Amino acid sequence: MSRSDSTLRGHVVAEPEAIRSALRDIDAPVPATTVFIPAFPRAGRITRNGMHLVEGVDGLGLAHESQYAGDATFGYTTSFLPALVAERSGGDLTSDDVAVVAPDGVASAVREGRAAWVACDVEDDADLGTIAGALLEADPCAEQVLVHASPGILPALLNLPVSSELPQLGTAPEAGGLRPEA
């Protein structure tokens, strides 16, 4: 499992590849497929037909048109996940190496080895639950798949209820919890 940013910033391809490299170094099984799940529906980030959308002041919009896409270090120019993966791979992958699948197609995409990367459409937490079940069905020993996902999938993977609690505005993270901003 590798943590992805739900706004598409970060080491989208480099982090899963670093994990694969570390697994090779210790002669452990190296997953052939990366399942990419950046959606975090409760935070207003979904993926529809391979296009990643984020909630903004004007409602749901394309991620590459959001403030996040202009990040000085991790900026990007597309919301289409196959193109994003290709862009971030530095030429090692193409859009054709990424299959976009609906939640109910994840298990078959993994079993069939349909692509090096599988990008998942996600509209809500029920979709994340479907994907978590599909991953368990297709790869029960977690040897074939490296999951690169936002924190939104964790309740489904851990079979925990989804919490409606989110940090309140005006709070900042601190070791051990949240504190009011000064």
- Which CATH number is 140's domain given? 3.40.50.10840
| Pairs from 99-103 (Cβ < 8 Å, separation ≥ 24) | 100/49, 100/50, 103/127, 103/128, 103/130, 103/131, 103/134
Give the pLDDT score at 57: 86
The rounded distance, in Å, linking the Cα atoms of 21 and 140 is: 22
Give the model's pLDDT for residue 111: 93
Q: Which residue has the tokens 């004007």?
A: 58
- Residue 159: the pLDDT is 84
Length of the chain, in residues: 182
Strand order in the sheet with 59-62: 45-48, 51-56, 59-62
Neighbours of 88 (CB within 10 A): 17
Domain that holds residue 175: 2-180
In angstroms, the CA 153 to CA 145 distance is 15
- Give the chain's domain count: 1
Q: What confidence score (pLDDT) does residue 168 get?
A: 56
Classified as helix, coil or strand, 29 is coil
Q: Which two tokens stand for residue 136?
A: 């368990």
Per-residue pLDDT of the chain (182 residues; tens, 9 = 90+): 899 999 999 899 999 999 999 999 999 999 999 999 999 999 999 999 999 999 988 899 999 999 899 989 998 999 999 999 999 999 999 999 999 999 999 999 999 988 999 999 999 999 999 999 999 999 888 888 999 999 999 999 888 887 666 555 555 555 455 455 44
pLDDT, residue 173, reads 54
